[in-house]
Amino acid sequence: MALTLNTNIVPTWYTLSSDEDDAAPAKFKLKPLDGEQYIEVFAESEMSRNGDIKLNGLGLKLALRYGVVGWENIDDERGKAIKFSIHNIKKFPMEVLSELATEVVNRSTPDEDELKNS
């Protein structure tokens, strides 16, 4: 049987759940992890009883480093736009970092239909 690879790993925009009703929400460009990156992130996680992946500190950092590739509408306290840089991501609160890392992993994990069709 031939092996079919998904070569269409493209970044897409994500809005934080807390900003969904905002007229100009902060948006993050997230890229699903490739296979090797997923292995690294998964190695730094635990599987819960219901099958969800729980990331530890290093798993969170890796998911963010690999998966966050841009942002828009992020300003400092003076209203000046903060340019995207993976270095600047450490300025975000833990709740935001956790939500982004979880979304990167969710976008990288095939669902049951995708597994059946492969």
For residue range 38-73, what is the model confidence (pLDDT) as tens digits? Answer: 999 999 888 777 777 788 889 999 999 999 999 999
H or E segment to which residue 29 belongs: strand 27-30
- For residue 104, give the nearest of 4, 7, 12, 8 by alpha carbon: 12
Measure the CA–CA gap between 115 and 118, rounded to whole angstroms: 5
| Domain layout of the chain by residue ranges | 25-109
> For the whole model, what pTM was predicted?
0.82
pLDDT of residue 114: 47
- Of the chain, the percentage scoring pLDDT greater than 90 comes to 58
Residues 71, 89 contacting (CB under 8 angstroms): no
